[in-house]
């Protein structure tokens, strides 16, 4: 780099250190802003609680206890984080290509249903590993096709991916209801319309010494793999070019449409897998309990993590903890279960607003984009 030495004031001996410090300062923006946003949402939520005549201090200490305070609450939190990690990936991967997918819940529901449906004829004869393998595969295929469809609509017909993924969620729910209340309903279950259970013995077990099922490990491994895919492969590089500047990607002759389609399919496969885990580790069958909002909370997780697969894991645990504390808050403070949803919604709103502050805080100002 002969020319850099020509800059006035750039003396090479200290420049390395300064550059490093500068990079640290710049990347700290990605932590400082979300943390500030969380803080602001906390304040707004306190105002909401005060208006209801409740104590914010009680609330936050209960959230702490219900989510992270005891080993029992930790396990509850981790069980909830597993699907959140996977549905967040369903948002994060397409986001790298500039696509905003909000219908991960649909892929989860369909993935769970597909897994449960394919299990019905197999349960009597298939050994557990084969059964679980086929179920997982079915959920991956269902979810992948579902969100892949969103990518295809976008690529071939220019349909807005956000809207189509949301509409496909409603269709997925209808498909689930249609079969679960009709052809595939388990007649022996009088309470809730469900598919036939896969049976206690066929379900995914717990990580030894805990009450947390293996889905958490699956999620973490997938995060690492997809991080590598996006940052260490030519596919990921091409995807980042496409997401950063479509015209530049076209001028490089990149197969833009195929990239969108494939990343959507990968995204859907992750959410589908979340559905499989809910069926095979928690419910043992497919029914309306699959529609628990994990797909929507996953959107929040991905945005908070700025669509970085590695950051998704801690963020999912954090939001899983808030969700896990819902029951305790309900019992102790006489607040409805939905209270924590209000908090989640507030966080999401503030996070979206905070997106506009990148490069604008005085401390980061000189570095940022202008105009």
Residues between 8 and 37 with contacts to other proteins, criterion CB under 8 A: 8-10, 14-15, 18-19, 22-23
DSSP secondary structure string for all residues of 123-186 = TTT--HHHHHHHHHHHHHHHHHHHHHHHHHHHHHH---HHHHHHHHHHHHHHHHHHHHTTTT--
Q: Which stretch binds other proteins (CB under 8 A): 7-15, 263-271, 290-298, 323-331?
A: 7-15
Say how far apart CA 136 and CA 281 lie, in whole Å. 12
With respect to other proteins, which residue has the nearer C-beta, 251 or 353?
Answer: 251
Binding mask 219-258 for other proteins (x = CB under 8 A): ------------xxxxxxxx-xx--xx-xx-xxxxxx---
With respect to other proteins, which residue has the nearer C-beta, 42 or 98?
Answer: 98
With respect to other proteins, which residue has the nearer C-beta, 57 or 251?
Answer: 251
With respect to other proteins, which residue has the nearer C-beta, 157 or 200?
Answer: 157
Residues between 254 and 273 with contacts to other proteins, criterion CB under 8 A: 254-255
With respect to other proteins, which residue has the nearer C-beta, 192 or 365?
Answer: 365
* Cβ at position 250, least distance to other proteins in Å: 5
* Cβ at position 251, least distance to other proteins in Å: 5
With respect to other proteins, which residue has the nearer C-beta, 60 or 235?
Answer: 235
Q: Which of 257, 265, 261, 259 is nearest to 142 (CA)?
A: 265
With respect to other proteins, which residue has the nearer C-beta, 160 or 233?
Answer: 233
**Distance from the first to the final alpha carbon of the chain:** 31
* Cβ at position 90, least distance to other proteins in Å: 22
- How many CB atoms sit inside 10 A of residue 267's CB? 34
Q: Which of 96, 135, 93, 133 is nearest to 279 (CA)?
A: 135
Yes or no: say if 248 and 241 are a contact pair by the CB < 8 Å rule. Answer: yes
How far is residue 173 CA from its own chain's centroid? 19
Say how far apart CA 21 and CA 347 lie, in whole Å. 30
* Cβ at position 305, least distance to other proteins in Å: 18
From 4, 188, 191, 356, residue interacting with other proteins (rule: CB under 8 A): 4
Q: Which stretch binds other proteins (CB under 8 A): 140-148, 333-341, 346-354, 360-368?
A: 360-368
Say how far apart CA 50 and CA 185 lie, in whole Å. 46
Say how far apart CA 288 and CA 180 lie, in whole Å. 9
Say how far apart CA 140 and CA 281 lie, in whole Å. 16
Q: Which residues of 81-104 are buried (b: 16+ CB within 10 A; e: fewer)?
A: bbbbbbbbbbbbbbbbbebebbbb
Inter-CA distances, 23 with 3, 26, 96, 155, 250, Å:
21, 5, 22, 37, 31
The sign one gets for the Cα dihedral 250, 253, 255, 260 is negative
Size of the site for other proteins (CB under 8 A): 41
With respect to other proteins, which residue has the nearer C-beta, 19 or 181?
Answer: 19
With respect to other proteins, which residue has the nearer C-beta, 192 or 232?
Answer: 232
* Cβ at position 355, least distance to other proteins in Å: 14
Q: Does 360 bind other proteins (CB under 8 A)?
A: no
* Cβ at position 165, least distance to other proteins in Å: 25
* Binding interface with other proteins (CB under 8 A): 1-4, 6-10, 14-15, 18-19, 22-23, 231-238, 240-241, 244-245, 247-248, 250-255, 365-367, 369-371
């Amino acid at each position: 780099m002969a020319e850099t030495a020509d800059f006035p004031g750039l003396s090479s001996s200290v420049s390395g250190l300064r550059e490093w410090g500068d990079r640290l300062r710049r990347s700290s923006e990605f932590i400082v802003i979300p943390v500030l946003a969380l803080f602001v949402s906390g304040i707004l939520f306190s105002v909401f609680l005060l208006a209801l005549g409740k104590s914010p201090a009680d609330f936050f200490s209960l959230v702490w206890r219900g989510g992270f305070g005891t080993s029992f609450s930790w396990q509850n939190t981790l069980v909830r984080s597993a699907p959140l990690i996977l549905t967040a990936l369903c948002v994060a991967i397409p986001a790298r290509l500039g696509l905003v997918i909000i219908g991960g819940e649909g892929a989860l529901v369909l993935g769970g249903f597909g897994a449960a449906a394919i299990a019905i004829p197999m349960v009597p004869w298939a050994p557990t590993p084969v059964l679980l393998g086929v179920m997982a595969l079915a959920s991956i295929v269902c979810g992948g096709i579902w969100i892949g469809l969103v990518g295809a609509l976008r690529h071939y017909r220019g349909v807005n991916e956000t809207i189509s993924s949301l509409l496909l969620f409603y269709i997925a729910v209808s498909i689930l209801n249609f079969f679960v209340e009709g052809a595939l309903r388990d007649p022996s279950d009088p309470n809730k319309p469900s598919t036939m259970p896969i049976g206690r013995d066929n379900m995914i077990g717990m990580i030894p010494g805990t009450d947390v099922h293996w889905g958490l490990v699956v999620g973490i491994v997938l995060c690492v793999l997809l991080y590598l895919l996006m940052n260490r492969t030519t596919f990921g590089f091409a995807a980042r070019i496409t997401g950063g500047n479509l015209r530049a990607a076209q001028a490089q002759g990149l197969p833009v449409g195929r990239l969108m389609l494939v990343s959507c399919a990968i995204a859907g496969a992750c959410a589908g897998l979340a559905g499989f885990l809910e069926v095979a580790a928690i419910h043992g069958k497919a029914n309306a309990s699959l529609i628990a909002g994990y797909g929507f909370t996953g959107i929040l997780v991905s945005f908070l993590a700025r669509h970085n697969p590695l950051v998704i894991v801690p963020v999912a645990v954090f939001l899983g903890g808030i969700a896990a504390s819902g029951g305790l808050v309900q019992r102790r403070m006489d607040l409805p279960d939905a209270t924590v949803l209000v908090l989640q919604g507030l966080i999401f709103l503030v996070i979206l607003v905070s997106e506009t502050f990148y490069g604008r805080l005085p401390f980061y100002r000189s570095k940022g984009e202008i105009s």
